[in-house]
Structure 1
Amino acid sequence: MFDYKQVFGQRGHLYNRASQRYPNARAIERKLILDKLDLRRGVTIVDAPAGGGYVADGIVQMFGDDVKVICVEPAAKFAGGIDQRFERLVCPLERIDLPDGSVDRVVSLAGLHHLPSKLAFFAEAARILKPGGIFAAADVLEGTPPARFLNGPVDRYSETGHDGDFLKTGELTRLFEQAGLRPIAEQLISFTWDFPDEPALAEYCKDLFGLTKADPQQVRREIDKILEVFVDHAGMARMVWSLVYGSAVKA
């Protein structure tokens, strides 16, 4: 298991650059988790780990300033990409600097496999949620093509390596229960990351995953070995990805 703060302190700027250049590439992935939050005007939402604010940006696209988003991110340099409109907390996910029962929603997209203790984070999410609040989380499932890609090519071609502790089937539900929450659902969902063309796909993945040891052509070859890519008649490239999505309610 690698150190989250060290890894994203080193390559978080590349991740943020990928999101800035192609902000809609993972739009389906993001919408799938936001749909589980039952968002409404006036709620306070914690995004953790927030990275450069990708999920927060999606929330504000839907609701503008009618919701409050708090971005919790352990790596200060990574958090530098978060829009100034959001409140930022740079702190460990196991010790979030918020009072008990102070937020309506917690969302966590694709960051759990970096954490030394998933349960400690889930317990913190439960602590800061108000009664009736919702926690939605999604991450890579062990043994799937995304898991093989991350712990394979990403591990080999990034300066920081990648040793992700991916979710096992049923683990998300167990984590919710162990944190004292009532699970609603857990489901493995496949979707696509979408790009205007094939070079954009390679450029995005090179930056998002910090593949500094590979050129774009090598990145594309590694993608083709493990992941499915579809190119339509207009040249738009769609790469298949999948995550386990789940949500739970605080009694």
Structure 2
Amino acid sequence: MDDPACDPAALDRTYRYFRPINAVVSGWRRVYVRHLRPHLSVHEPTTLLDIGSGGGDVPRALARWAARDGLRLAVTAVDPDERAHRYVTAQPATPGVEFRQASSGDLVRDGETFDLVTSNHLLHHLDPDTLASLLAHSAVLARRLVVHADIERGRLAYAAYAAATWPLARRSFVYDDGLASVRRSYRPHELAAVVPPGWDVRTQLPYRLLLVRDVTDATAREEARHA
């Protein structure tokens, strides 16, 4: 998927397959219920930024769940990849979700902030410097809470994913790229060792990591802005 010259039809199928795959393995319903929903209100709008939104299935799901609960949530989903932006904007609109082609750094430079910041399967793609930048940006962009969700590396996770996605290997990048993602992902102690103070590494079944930061300290936000 990261190859600019990759087959566009296979790429679009990959984005399309993300929705059922994430519905099974990513655990975002639990993240929404336990971490995000307590910040939402029936009366006051809450803003949420999803970074690296890819095929857009996670921000759309968050908006749908909030709407079903009668809660006011405005989601901004950003991805710097023009191919991802082309795909998501060609899909039917989801009320409460805006897709933009941008990076977290772009939003920091523009002085934007949001109540909540999330990402899905982004951390393992980043080298150490880019990861540090993402976390600094997140601390600046979020007024309340950051939740970055990712894969926890494990042999059983690798074998289960390989077996489940093998039928999709020839028509998309789900199989090969997904297995590469499992190999590149962190174990809890590894992630804890590379993040700065103030970030909490948590686990969630099956084979999920949550990197959480409660952004309520104005001093910490100012320090992050100048990091």
Map of 1:49 onto structure 2: 52
Query: 1:96 pairs with 103, 106, 109, which one?
Result: 106
Checking the alignment, whether the CA contact within 8 Å between 2:47 and 2:114 is kept in structure 1 is: yes
Q: 1:66 aligns with which of 69, 72, 80?
A: 72
TM-superposed CA distance for 1:39, in Å, is 3.3
Matches within 5 A, 1:208-223: none
Partners of 1:62 and 1:10 in 2: how far apart?
30
Residues 39/15 of structure 1: CA separation in 2 closer, same or farther (3 Å cut):
farther
SS of structure 2 residue aligned to 1:177: coil
The Cα RMSD (Å) is 3.6
Displacement of 1:61: 1.5
Relative to structure 1, the CA distance from residue 40 to residue 176 in structure 2 (aligned partners, 3 Å threshold; closer, same or farther) is farther
Partner of 2:212: 247
Q: Residue by residue, what CA displacement relative to the aligned partner does 1:155-185 show, whole Å, maximum 9, x if unpaired?
A: 9x5776534331132344455535xxx23x4
Residue 77 of structure 1 is matched in structure 2 by: 83
TM-score normalized with structure 1 length:
0.61
The total of aligned residue pairs comes to 191
| Matched position secondary structure for 2:28 | helix
Q: Secondary structure at the match of 2:39?
A: coil
Asked if 2 retains the 8 angstrom alpha-carbon contact of 1:36 and 1:247, the reply is: no
Q: What's the offset of the Cα at 1:134? A: 0.5
Residue 5 and residue 150 in structure 1: after superposition, are their counterparts in 2 closer, same or farther (change >3 A)? Answer: farther
8 Å contact from structure 2 (residues 202, 212) kept in 1: no
Which one of the candidate residues 128, 132, 142 is aligned to 1:129?
A: 142
Q: 1:167 to 1:7 in 2, by over 3 A?
A: farther
Q: Give the conservation status (yes or no) of the 8 Å contact 1:53–1:71.
A: yes
Q: Give 3-state SS (helix, strand or coil) of 2:212's partner.
A: strand
1:59 to 1:18, Cα distance in 2 relative to 1, 3 A:
same
Structure 1 residues 168 and 19, CA, compared in 2 at 3 Å: closer, same or farther? closer
Equivalent residue for 1:146?
A: 157
Distance across 1 between alignment mates of 2:22 and 2:185: 25
Offset at residue 24 of structure 1 (A)? 8.1
The answer to whether the 8 A contact 1:49-1:73 is kept is: yes
Percent same amino acid among aligned pairs?
A: 15
- Amino acid of the structure 2 residue aligned with 1:77: R
**Taking structure 2 as the reference length, what is the TM-score of the superposition?**
0.66
Q: 1:173 to 1:40 in 2, by over 3 A?
A: farther
When you count strand as a share of all residues, which structure comes out higher?
1
Change (3 A) 1:119 1:72: same
Distance 2:4 2:47 in 1: 26
Q: Secondary structure at the match of 2:106?
A: coil
Equivalent in 186, 210, 217 of residue 201 of structure 2: 186
